[in-house]
């Protein structure tokens, strides 16, 4: 059985050397593994949240598509498409929006960060916050669930959005009585290369310290390498390779044997100027063949368009049947199908109910949430090293008397079993604690009756 892996790339910038080593190269390599059904898409709807410059978005779509193809992405093996070429994605986004609790969106990191910044400035908390930013996690969920991806490689800052996608999928499946959606698993690449930029900080456009991958050609690459910050050790003095940004960059594009030679040269006193020249020549040797393909693709955008359209056709063959099922599930049926009496097709006979949702957090620990019937988060557990322990505590919360395990704690509340706090009110909740505690009691009572 194949594992479907989905990767999105936001089209707001030009790929640099750090993007290639940290994300592009490992993703392309992973797509060639047996048993992997890889989906790669240009997240151009997401770009509109971050960028209001249409020329920049349009140029970035071209540059990013050309980059992925130039570095070896096999568009015939994978499914490579633009998000905006799949009309089923925004349609699914709306269906998911209609079952997503606002309280969940209130806790999204990006939205909370914007609110915190506004509060610190003394302006309205929602100043400058668009609905695109606020509901970004729902669109991300639609990207993933549209193709029922099994694994989604993301950085740690995106883990919360993957957990939200799982919660939204579970909510939809529960409401409409069938497992329409696979619950995606987050894939954190622990060994992803993080390259230093010109100033030694992480290479990032936000720091303006990047080294170009293809743009500007060999001349721009050499100019950037020559600007890398080094220490004051003179030629002839031994250099500390491990603390050298030059060595870190060299090693990311070299074999162990090549890295060992460069390291010895540094330790033997190679001057920084010569070391930079050696790094440039080493990078140029590896990037030049790919850059030649990139330049050719940029000069022939029609070839890229044909590839993306073929990818969109391939993706829509997956999206259309699922979207037709979902439209029927929510009641948007063709009238020729005849009137439907009673509950909608696929609906469970039992009423909507509360539920537990288990997940792994960004440290690898196991946790669970108690959600109300409307999707509001009522309890968030502590972190457990053993998933069996987390499962046992969920069952005990479901079976034991709510009055015995629930306690008011300051402005919030906790769930205590055997004298140990196992769960508490989620961070940032608002409203009367006693009223919310009543909701928790009701939710646990309804679970105990199942």
Q: What is the pLDDT of residues 57-87, one digit of tens each?
A: 999 999 999 999 999 999 999 999 999 999 9
Please indicate whether residue 414 or residue 310 has the higher confidence score (pLDDT): 310
Cα dihedral angle (173, 175, 176, 177), rounded to 10 degrees? 70
pLDDT at 345: 47
pLDDT at 191: 55
Q: 25-39, 242-256, 339-353: which range is least confident on average?
A: 339-353
Asked whether residue 156 is marked as a ligand-binding residue, the answer is: yes
Q: Is 363's pLDDT higher than 90?
A: no
Asked whether residue 12 is marked as a ligand-binding residue, the answer is: yes
pLDDT at 348: 44
Q: Is 410's pLDDT higher than 70?
A: yes
Please indicate whether residue 56 or residue 373 has the higher confidence score (pLDDT): 56
pLDDT at 131: 96
User: How many secondary structure helices (H) and strands (E) does the chain include?
Assistant: 18, 11
pLDDT at 360: 74
Strand 36-43 to 79-82 pairing: parallel
Please indicate whether residue 399 or residue 135 has the higher confidence score (pLDDT): 135
Q: How confident is the model at residue 341 (pLDDT cuts 50, 70, 90)?
A: very low
List b or e across 90-126, with b for residues whose CB sees 16 or more CB atoms inside 10 angstroms: ebbbebbbebbbebbbebbebbeebbeebeeeeeeee
User: For 339-348, what is the mean pLDDT?
Assistant: 46
pLDDT at 450: 62
pLDDT at 377: 83
- pLDDT tens for 256-314 read 999 999 999 999 999 999 999 999 999 999 999 999 999 999 999 999 999 999 999 99
- pLDDT tens for 165-206 read 999 999 999 999 899 999 999 887 655 568 999 999 999 988
> And the tokens for 278?
């050696």
Q: How confident is the model at residue 344 (pLDDT cuts 50, 70, 90)?
A: very low
Q: Is 374's pLDDT higher than 80?
A: no
Asked whether residue 182 is marked as a ligand-binding residue, the answer is: no
Q: Are 198 and 186 in contact (CB under 8 A)?
A: no
Alpha helices, H only, 32-148: 44-50, 54-70, 88-97, 102-106, 109-121, 131-134, 136-145
pLDDT at 189: 61
pTM for the model stands at 0.75
Q: Is 430's pLDDT higher than 80?
A: no
Asked whether residue 206 is marked as a ligand-binding residue, the answer is: yes
Asked whether residue 195 is marked as a ligand-binding residue, the answer is: yes
Query: How many Cβ atoms are within 10 Å of 77's Cβ, its own excluded?
Result: 12
User: For 225-253, what is the mean pLDDT?
Assistant: 94
Q: How confident is the model at residue 342 (pLDDT cuts 50, 70, 90)?
A: very low
Asked whether residue 19 is marked as a ligand-binding residue, the answer is: yes
User: For 158-170, what is the mean pLDDT?
Assistant: 92
Mean pLDDT (the chain) is: 89
Asked whether residue 202 is marked as a ligand-binding residue, the answer is: yes
pLDDT at 432: 67
> And the tokens for 93?
């986004």
Helix then strand then coil, in percent of the chain rounded to 5, is: 50, 15, 35
Q: 41-55, 143-157, 165-179, 417-431: which range is least confident on average?
A: 417-431
Q: Are 95 and 326 in contact (CB under 8 A)?
A: yes
Asked whether residue 365 is marked as a ligand-binding residue, the answer is: no
Asked whether residue 143 is marked as a ligand-binding residue, the answer is: yes
Asked whether residue 276 is marked as a ligand-binding residue, the answer is: no
Query: How many Cβ atoms are within 10 Å of 337's Cβ, its own excluded?
Result: 9
Please indicate whether residue 347 or residue 362 has the higher confidence score (pLDDT): 362
Q: How confident is the model at residue 349 (pLDDT cuts 50, 70, 90)?
A: very low
Asked whether residue 155 is marked as a ligand-binding residue, the answer is: yes
DSSP 221-240: HHHHHTT----SPPTTSPP-
Q: 43-57, 93-107, 186-200: which range is least confident on average?
A: 186-200
Asked whether residue 203 is marked as a ligand-binding residue, the answer is: yes
Q: Are 214 and 70 in contact (CB under 8 A)?
A: yes
């Amino acid at each position: 059985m194949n594992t479907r892996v989905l990767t999105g790339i936001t089209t707001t910038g030009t790929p640099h050397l750090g993007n290639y080593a940290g994300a592009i190269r490992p993703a392309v390599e992973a797509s060639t593994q047996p048993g992997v059904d890889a989906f790669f898409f240009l997240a151009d709807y997401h770009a509109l949240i971050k960028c209001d410059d249409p020329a920049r978005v349009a140029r970035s779509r071209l540059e990013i598509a050309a980059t992925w193809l130039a570095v070896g992405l096999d568009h015939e093996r994978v499914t490579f498409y633009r998000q905006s070429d799949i009309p089923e994605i925004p349609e699914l986004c709306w269906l998911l929006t209609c079952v997503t609790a606002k309280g969940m969106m209130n806790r999204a990191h990006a939205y909370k960060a914007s609110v915190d910044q506004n509060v610190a400035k003394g302006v309205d908390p929602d100043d400058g916050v668009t609905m695109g930013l606020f509901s970004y996690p729902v669109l991300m969920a639609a990207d993933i669930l549209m193709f029922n991806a099994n694994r989604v490689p993301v950085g740690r800052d995106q883990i919360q959005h993957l957990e939200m996608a799982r919660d939204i999928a579970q909510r939809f499946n529960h409401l409409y009585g069938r497992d329409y959606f696979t619950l995606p698993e987050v894939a954190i690449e622990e060994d992803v290369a993080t390259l230093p930029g010109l100033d030694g900080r992480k290479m990032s456009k936000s720091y303006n310290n990047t080294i170009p991958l293809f743009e500007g050609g060999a001349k721009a690459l050499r100019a950037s390498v020559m600007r890398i910050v080094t220490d004051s050790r003179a030629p002839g003095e031994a250099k500390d390779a491990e603390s050298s940004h030059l060595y870190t960059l060299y090693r990311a594009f070299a074999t162990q044997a090549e890295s060992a030679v460069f390291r010895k040269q540094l330790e033997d006193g190679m001057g920084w100027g010569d070391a930079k020249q050696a790094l440039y020549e080493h990078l140029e040797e590896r990037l030049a063949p790919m850059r030649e393909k990139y330049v050719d693709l940029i000069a022939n955008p029609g070839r890229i368009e044909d590839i993306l359209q073929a990818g969109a056709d391939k993706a829509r063959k997956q999206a259309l049947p699922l979207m037709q099922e979902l439209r029927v599930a929510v009641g948007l049926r063709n009238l020729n199908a005849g009137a439907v009496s009673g509950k909608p097709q696929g609906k469970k006979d039992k009423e909507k109910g509360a539920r537990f949702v288990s997940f792994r957090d960004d440290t690898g620990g196991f946790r669970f949430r108690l959600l109300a019937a409307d999707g509001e988060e009522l309890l968030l557990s502590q972190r457990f090293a053993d998933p069996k322990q987390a499962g046992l505590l969920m069952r005990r919360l479901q079976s034991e008397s709510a009055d015995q395990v629930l306690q008011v704690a300051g402005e919030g509340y906790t769930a205590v079993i055997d004298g140990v706090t196992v769960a508490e009110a989620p961070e940032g909740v608002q409203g009367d604690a006693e009223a919310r505690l009543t909701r928790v009691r009701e939710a646990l009572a309804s679970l105990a009756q199942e």
